Amino acid sequence: MNSVSPRSFRKRFPLPCFAALLLLAGCATGPKFYSEDYLAGISEQQFSQLKQELPRATDPEAIALVERVSRRIANAMADEMPAADWEFVLFRQDSANAFAMPGGKIGVFTGLLDFVDSDAELAAVIGHEIAHVELEHANQRMSAEALRALGGVGAVVLTEDMEEDDRNKVLLAYGIGTQLGAILPYSRYHEREADRRGLMIAARAGYDPRAALTFWEKMQGAGGSAPPEFLSTHPSYRTRLQTLREAMPEALALYRANRPQL
């Protein structure tokens, strides 16, 4: 089997490919190539399609829970997201998941409610999802993927004179390198950022942020086996709980300043 020595690899691997790797690795808070209006328009179309394809929940209490918590958090975010056209839908799906899209579209799956014992626990999840939107993570991830694709095109073009075996190794190295060295760490960074910001969003809406810990501890207990963190788009439960505990003093101060007076 032929192999490429480190010196030969450095010589043959195109400089633009290294540049793309460096750009991806360094884009923790950017770039953002797309307008938020454009992304909101795409989200509107995708959300409409989901509403056509996925069954809606019919339990009035569960629907009221999602509407109540989501609306309260949305009201707390009125200054940060004034252009949001909020819509909250509970889908009848077993997955313990929720999502938020640019423009203010929020979906919750009924499977998530099996782990929710209070409004505050649901607020922890919805606050996390809205944080992704406020922080423009979708824009940043799409932009990072565009950079990665551009680097991939450069790699294909600039390696066309290589021997096939060497070229395949270079392209494979680029694909694996950008995935493990940039895209996955980038996604985990966004998740940690949304965990912290989401905690503050829920607290500002008057929900006890300590509920985030009880919720994620339950999710950890039900999570089963998981891949190593470096192979995942999300932090491990242990990392996630550590992030929340570190941010808790600030979140509790915000909650005490905003909790409803009984």
pLDDT, tens digit, for every residue of 124-152? Answer: 999 999 999 999 988 888 887 777 777 77
Question: What φ, ψ does residue 106 adopt, rounded to 5°?
Answer: -125, 130
Predicted TM-score of the model (pTM): 0.78
| Catalytic machinery residues | 129
**Averaged pLDDT, 105-110:** 97
Q: Tokens 């923790």 appear where?
A: 28
Give the pLDDT confidence score for residue 14 in this predicted structure. 46
Which carries the bigger pLDDT value, residue 174 or residue 44?
A: 44
Domain residue limits, the chain? 13-258
pLDDT, tens digit, for every residue of 176-232? Answer: 776 666 677 667 888 999 999 999 999 999 999 999 999 999 998 886 555 555 446
Please list the residues that pair with 105 across neighbouring strands: 87, 101
Give the pLDDT confidence score for residue 189 in this predicted structure. 87
Ranges assigned E (strand) in the chain:
87-91, 98-101, 105-109
pLDDT band, very low/low/confident/very high, at 1 (cuts 50, 70, 90): very low
In whole angstroms, give the CA distance from residue 86 to residue 210.
26
In whole angstroms, give the CA distance from residue 126 to residue 65.
12
Give the pLDDT confidence score for residue 17 in this predicted structure. 47
Q: Report DSSP state, residue 100.
A: E
In whole angstroms, give the CA distance from residue 208 to residue 211.
6
Give the pLDDT confidence score for residue 182 in this predicted structure. 65
**Least confidently predicted of 8-22, 35-49, 71-85, 137-151:** 8-22
Give the pLDDT confidence score for residue 151 in this predicted structure. 78
Please choose, from the candidates 228, 227, 221, 233, the residue with its C-alpha nearest in 3D space to the C-alpha of residue 191: 233
Give the pLDDT confidence score for residue 226 in this predicted structure. 55
Q: Report DSSP state, residue 230.
A: G
Please give the order of strands across the beta sheet that includes 105-109: 87-91, 105-109, 98-101
- The answer to whether the beta carbons of residues 202 and 120 sit under 8 Å apart is yes
